Every structure is written in C-alpha cells, then in structure tokens.
Structure 1
C-alpha cells in the first residue's frame, strides 16, 4: 500500500505570511514521516505554483518518494515540449516520476481553459490519448508521430527519461469510457468516487478492459484521490472542510462530496473510511489535506503520518495470505 499526499501548491491553501518556498520543506517532512509519494495539482482556475516546476524543485530535495501529478492537464502545454519536460523531471529524480493526466471537465473547470490554450474542446479525450502516445514515442526516440489529431515530422532528438519508455502514465476519470481507456492504454487509474462500492465496480471494469486488450490486470495501478481532515469528531471536521471547500472550489461541502471522496472525523474514523477504499481495491492513496494554511497543513500531515502503519497493515496481511499484491 502506497500512501502519498498532495502538496498545497494553491494560494487558497496558504495563510497570511506563508512562504511558498516552505513547500519543499513540506515535501521533505512528508518523506521523513513515511509517506511514499508527493503529488501536485495542475490548473489555471486558481493561482498555484506550476505543477512541473514544483516537481523539478522536489526532485533534488527528496530521495525516495514518488513524484506525481494529480492530475496534469496536457492541453495547457505544447505536447512535444511537455514530453521533454517530463523526461527531464524523471531523469533528475532518478526515475521517480508518475504522471496522472486528465482532460478537464465541463463548466469553469474545463472549457474556458481550452479557449485559453487555443485547443479545441471537441475530441478532447482522443487528443489526450494521442498526446500520451506522442510522449511515449518521443521518450523512445521516435523522430515522427502520425495520429488522427497530432502529426509531427522531424522531431529533434530529445532527452531520454531515466526509465526506458518513460514514467508510468495514469488516467484520472471515473466514467465507464474512462475506465475502459484506462484498462486499454494507461499504467494506472486515479479517480475520486465518493463511495467505495463505486470504486470497486469501476476497478473491475478497468481490469476487464485491460484483459480484453491482452494486458495483465495487475499492470494497472489502482489509486485513489481523496480529501481528508482529521478532527476531534465528524461534526468539527465537516465545519473545517466546509470552509475548505468554499475557499478552494467555491462550492459548499455537500456539493463537493457528491462528486469527490471526502473523509473526516477522528483518526480512527478516517482510518476506517480509508480502509474501506483499500478493501475495494485501492493500492495507492493520494490524500489532499483539508487545511487552509501551511501550519495547519503540517499539523494534518503529522496526524495522518500516525495512521500510516495501521493503513498499511491490512494490505500486508492480505499479501501474506496471497489475496493481493503489496503495491
């Protein structure tokens, strides 16, 4: 079981006087505390440190943690240049990069960003899949790429990533179509469904699609993006997350938790809720800490770190019984 955290790179998660350079220190603290990955978000909706710049800063400052995006929006960037940047981060980190990608959503979280990038909204999923295929071609040394949407000749020699073939690429998305594409084309799945039963059902679809594409089901890493707040009890945690949801998303908590996995309560309650997702098949948690300044983020990080042995113990037990692999 891998358990990682999402760094608070957005200004909505900083308090007055917070220094964004502390984010590197935050990442090192997470690594020392036993977390296995550090992820960053990517958006132009709210001011935030650019995702790949943040990972480049973390690469020499950390040693063992996976560095990931949750999720990168490729349509915001030129595809060949992005392949070069991702390969560079993978190389500088010694092969610790994982790239989760997404196509954006309707409304203010999607279409306006396509307009800013001068990229058509139509066929966005096909464009995303082709962009990932292009990256993999560039990482393997190809000098041309001919897809239905993206076509390039004379691609100059690019820096090779640390690992042959490049870093693993995950897909963020929970629709049936996204599940099918994940199983056929991607190395991991990073959705955020509110219900563990919905996660389990989706994972079955992902694995069936992988087998149908003559891949091994276990080649697709089952991950989960989840927001968490450890509090004295559920009521106090929900009050804190209400402020968080409105500050970060501009929506009430009740609306956010209809579409995203959100857990809160005492440490035991948070542990039990996360364990339900593990029992549904999740093997890599990417946990966003529900706090609105860096001091509170660090406090939540310490409280969550105390749960790491308990969260990993069931996965270890299942592995010893031969019922699941330890990720």
Structure 2
C-alpha cells in the first residue's frame, strides 16, 4: 500500500510570505514522515513551478520516494523533448519516476492549452496514446516511429532511462473510453471519482479490458487522487476547503465535490472514507492537502502521516499482490 502527497507547486496554494524553495524541504519532510511518493501537477494557465523541473530538483535530495506527475499533459511539450526530460529524471532518481498523463478536458484546462501549444483539440486522445508509444519506443532505443499522427525518421540516439523500457506510465480519467485504454495500454490508473463505488466499477472495467488484451490485472497499478482535509471542527474545516477550492479552481467546494474525490472531517472520518476507497481496490493513494499556505500544508501533512499505518492495515495482507510501485513490462 503506497500513500503519497501532491506538492503545492501552484502559487495559489502558497501564503503571502512563502518561499518556493520551501517545496524542497516539504518533499524531504514528507519522505521522512513515511509517505512513499511525491507527485506534482502540470499546467500552463496558472502560476506554478513547472512539473518536470520540480521532479528534477527533488531527485537528488530524496532517497526512496516515487516521484510522479498527476497528471502531466504531454501536448504542452514536444514529444521527443519530453521523452528526453522524463528519461533524465528517471536516471537522476535511480528509477523512481512514475508518469501519469492526461489529454486535458473541456474548460480552461483543455482547449485553450491546445491553442497555446499550437495543436488541434481534435483526436487529442489518439495523440496522447501515440505520444506515450513514442516515448516507450525511444526509451527502448528506437531510431524511428511511425504512427497515424506522429511520424519521425532518423532519430539520433536519445537519453535512455534508468530502467529498461522506461518509467511506468499511468492514465488519468474515468470515462468508458479512458477505462478501456487504461486496461489495454497503460501501467496504472489515477482517477478522482467522488464515489468509491464508481472507483470499484471503473477498476472492474479496466481489468476486463486488460484481460481482453491479454494482460494481467497485476500489470496495472490502481491509484487514487483525492483531496483531504483533517479538522476536528467540521465547519471550520469545510470553510478552509472551500477557500482552497475557490483559490485553486475558481469554484465553491460543493461544485468541486461533484467532480473530484474530496475527503474531510476528523481523523476517524477521513480514515473511514479512505478505507472505502481501499476496499474498492485503490492501492496507491495520492493525497492533495486541502489548505492554503505552507504552514497549513505542513500541519495537514503531519496529521495525515499519523493515519498512514491505519490506511495500510485497511489494505490487508491478502491485497499486497496488487502490483503497487512495481515496474511492469509495457505492451
């Protein structure tokens, strides 16, 4: 059972006197506190530390934690350039990189970014899948790639990652098409469904798609992205989460809760809710701390760290073969 934390790389999550350099110390502290992964998210439309730059900075100052993206949007970068950057981070970290990818979605995190990247919005999912296939080909030493959208010949030698085949690549998203693609093509799944029952049904669909493609269920890491706020005063905690939702997404908390997994309440209430996702099949939980300011982030990190043993116990010894954190072969 892996439990990780999303670093607050966006300036909307910082306090007035916070220093970006504190993110390094925050990541190192999370590793010492027992978290097994550090994740960062990706965007062009909000001020933040660029995702791959953040992971490269963390690689030499951490020892064991997985370094991951949640989620990287490959269309923001040239595909061969991105393959080079990801391979470099995997090398620098000694093979600790995990890459979750997404194609963006309608709204300010979707079509406008494609316009800025000078790419068409149409066929974005096919472009995403081909980009990942290109990365894997380059990481295996290919000198050419011929897809329907991406075509390259005479590719000079590129940086090879630490691990043969490169880092595992997970897919975000929970539409029926995304579930089928995750089962066929990807090494893991990182969604944020508000209802644990939807997580369970989504994972079942992924396993079916994997079986139909001749893959084993162990080849796919079942992960979860969830916002968490621990507070003994429920009303105060909800107000703080609402401030976070408005600062981060420009929407009130009740609207965010309709589309993303959000868990709040006392330690016992948060634990009970996380256990429901574990029972639904989640085996790598990536937590976004629902608070503003680095001091508050540290406080929530400490409170969540106290729950790590109990969340791991909820997984149970019979579930340790779920493939968490393992390097799997690619299709």
TM-score (norm: length of structure 1):
0.98
Q: Structure 1 residue 308 and structure 2 residue 308: aligned?
A: yes
CA separation in 2, counterparts of 1:326 and 1:146?
31
| CA offset digits 1:189-209 (Å, max 9, x no partner) | 000000000000000000100
CA separation in 1, counterparts of 2:318 and 2:258?
30
How much has 1:154 moved relative to structure 2?
A: 1.1
Long gaps (5+) in structure 2: 325-331
SS in 1 for 2:192: coil
Q: For the aligned residues, what is the CA RMSD? A: 1.0
Q: Structure 1 residue 72 and structure 2 residue 72: aligned?
A: yes
CA separation in 1, counterparts of 2:319 and 2:115?
47
CA separation in 2, counterparts of 1:233 and 1:199?
28
1:30-69 mapped onto 2 (5 Å cutoff): 30-69=30-69
| CA offset digits 1:189-236 (Å, max 9, x no partner) | 000000000000000000100010000011100000000000014322
**What does residue 106 of structure 2 align with?**
106
CA separation in 1, counterparts of 2:323 and 2:171?
21
**What does residue 186 of structure 1 align with?**
186
How much has 1:16 moved relative to structure 2?
A: 0.9
SS in 2 for 1:60: helix
**What does residue 268 of structure 1 align with?**
268
Aligned residues: 324
| CA offset digits 1:253-288 (Å, max 9, x no partner) | 111010000000001110110000000000000000
SS in 1 for 2:179: helix
**What does residue 13 of structure 1 align with?**
13
How much has 1:326 moved relative to structure 2?
A: 6.9
CA separation in 2, counterparts of 1:177 and 1:234?
37
Decide whether aligned partners of structure 1 residues 22 and 204 sit closer, same or farther in structure 2, where only a CA change above 3 A counts. Answer: same
CA separation in 2, counterparts of 1:170 and 1:307?
26
Long gaps (5+) in structure 1: none
Q: Structure 1 residue 4 and structure 2 residue 4: aligned?
A: yes
Whether the aligned pair in 2 keeps the contact of 1:315 and 1:326 (CA below 8 Å) is: no
**What does residue 166 of structure 1 align with?**
166
How much has 1:159 moved relative to structure 2?
A: 1.0
**What does residue 123 of structure 2 align with?**
123
How much has 1:289 moved relative to structure 2?
A: 0.2
SS in 2 for 1:157: coil
**What does residue 278 of structure 2 align with?**
278
Q: Structure 1 residue 251 and structure 2 residue 240: aligned?
A: no
Whether the aligned pair in 2 keeps the contact of 1:316 and 1:326 (CA below 8 Å) is: no
**What does residue 29 of structure 2 align with?**
29
**What does residue 229 of structure 1 align with?**
229
CA separation in 1, counterparts of 2:175 and 2:322?
26
Whether the aligned pair in 2 keeps the contact of 1:100 and 1:172 (CA below 8 Å) is: yes
CA separation in 2, counterparts of 1:81 and 1:227?
31
How much has 1:20 moved relative to structure 2?
A: 0.5
